[in-house]
Amino acid sequence: MPTEPTTRRRVAFIFPIYNEEGNIELLQRTVDEVTAPLAGKYDFSFIYVDDGSKDGSLAALTGLSARDGRITVIELSRNFGHQMAVTAGLDLVDADAAIIMDSDLQDPPRVALELIEKWEEGFDVVYAQRRSRQDSPFKRLTASAFYWFLGKMAAVDIPKNTGDFRLVDRKVVDELRKYRERDRFLRGLVSYIGFKQTAVLFDRDKRHTGATGYPLTKMMRFAADGIVGFSTTPLRMITRMGYLFSLLSFLGVLYVIGVKLFEPETAVPGWAFITIAMFFLGGVQIIMLGVLGSYIGRTYSQVQNRPLYSVASVRTGANEAAEDSRSTVR
Ligand code: UDP
Ligand code: MG
């Protein structure tokens, strides 16, 4: 039986869905149109992850998959949140590259083509970076404050103005699957994993219909996952504060001794002792919190149980074809 040439690479789209009934049809139609010219070159497939939608999303998805064999629908048992929905898609996907995209058409499907182009140039992660966005001034302000803060704190460089809209090569997907921490900040993990990464600039559109699934509370929790998941700086700050307070206390103690020696008549009996004890204990307590903090920080990163490293390739002297980028040494 004649088979397709084996060079056809498989590209899968992953769409997290939470109450997107008004967007699903249009989304699928648009990605279909956009990818149609490349259909001879790639095998496209589409994974929709229904994250416990309360509207007709699931029915719409089931309808879609009944018509099109390239569509897979994963139904989560309840709402687990965007990051978990994408994770479920990544765990299930079987393709040479996965494109993660929002389902409200804020991430324009045509940009996916540019992601694929860069992937063909040899990049393993191609993230779509917003040149502009149509969100409310509030969202823009909080987002830019968040990225500024994250840049200051995080141990890895997490690119600014990027969401989860990106293409990841299969080997990055394989690595991501090893990261099982519960409080997930996928874009941080992707940066953390490394490999060859690049950006494609795009203008982010408005949500097509429906309401955001990221109200302020969820957004703040997500921001905390980003900062706390990639940095123990807040804990280390306690120690610095402890030193600062101890220094101030030391000055305070000198002052109290000075008053006691040179102007004893202004001091209330017992004042010197109480004040010195207060300064001293305050400083010591904060330093001790810092010590606890540094152990908690280490315990935390151990508990996250991340793989220690990812191997991009292993080459042995004589073996020219040894660029097996998927080998992993545990
Ligand atoms: N989403 C999800 N689960 C949630 C919230 C959102 O799967 O609990 C999906 C949603 O359907 C969309 C993407 O995540 O495809 C981004 O969400 P949204 O557009 O609501 O966020 P915003 O763009 O407002 O930040
Ligand atoms: Mg959106």
Residues of the chain with CATH 3.90.550.10: 9-214+307-316
Q: Report residue 1's pLDDT band, with 50, 70 and 90 as the boundaries.
A: low
The response to whether residue 74 sits with its C-beta less than 6 Å from ligand 1 reads no
Return the percentage of the chain with pLDDT > 90, whole number. 44
Q: If you write DSSP's letter for every residue of 189-218 in order, what string do you get?
A: HHHHH-SSEEEEEEE-----SS--S--HHH
Mutate to test the pocket of ligand 1, among 31, 75, 82, 140 (most ligand atoms within 8 A of CB): 82
| CA-210 nearest atom, ligand 1 | 20
3-state secondary structure of 102: coil
The response to whether residue 143 sits with its C-beta less than 6 Å from ligand 1 reads no
Residue 323 scores a pLDDT above 60: no
Q: How far is the CA of 169 from the centre of ligand 1 (A)?
A: 23
The response to whether residue 106 sits with its C-beta less than 6 Å from ligand 1 reads yes
The response to whether residue 163 sits with its C-beta less than 6 Å from ligand 1 reads no
| CA-81 nearest atom, ligand 1 | 8
The tokens describing 23, both together, are 């967007």
Please enumerate, as own/partner, the contacts of 37-43 that have beta carbons within 8 Å and a separation of 24 or more. Answer: 38/113, 38/116, 41/8, 41/9, 42/8, 42/9, 42/10, 42/11, 42/116, 43/8, 43/9, 43/10, 43/11, 43/95
User: Which residue's CA is minimally distant from atom 5 of ligand 1?
Assistant: 213
Query: For 49-66, what is the mean pLDDT?
Result: 93
pLDDT value at residue 206: 83
Exposure of 146 by Cβ count < 10 A (0-12 exposed, 13-18 middle, 19+ buried)? middle
User: Which residue's CA is minimally distant from atom 2 of ligand 1?
Assistant: 82
Query: For 125-136, what is the mean pLDDT?
Result: 86
Nearest to 226 by CA among 182, 187, 198, 178: 187
pLDDT value at residue 89: 95
Global confidence as pTM: 0.81
Q: How far is the CA of 207 from the centre of ligand 2 (A)?
A: 5
Residue 328 scores a pLDDT above 50: no
Give the CATH number of domain 9-214+307-316: 3.90.550.10
The response to whether residue 142 sits with its C-beta less than 6 Å from ligand 1 reads no
Q: Report residue 3's pLDDT band, with 50, 70 and 90 as the boundaries.
A: low
The response to whether residue 20 sits with its C-beta less than 6 Å from ligand 1 reads yes
Instruction: Please write the tens of the pLDDT for every residue from 12-24.
Output: 999 999 999 999 9
Residue 173 scores a pLDDT above 50: yes
Instruction: Please write the tens of the pLDDT for every residue from 224-251.
Output: 888 888 888 888 888 888 888 888 888 8
Mean per-residue pLDDT of the chain: 86
Mutate to test the pocket of ligand 1, among 20, 30, 51, 222 (most ligand atoms within 8 A of CB): 51
Q: Which residue has the higher pLDDT, 217 or 84?
A: 84
The response to whether residue 17 sits with its C-beta less than 6 Å from ligand 1 reads yes
Q: Report residue 57's pLDDT band, with 50, 70 and 90 as the boundaries.
A: very high
Q: How far is the CA of 190 from the centre of ligand 1 (A)?
A: 19
Q: Report residue 5's pLDDT band, with 50, 70 and 90 as the boundaries.
A: low
Cβ contacts of 300 within 8 Å, gap of 6 or more: 232
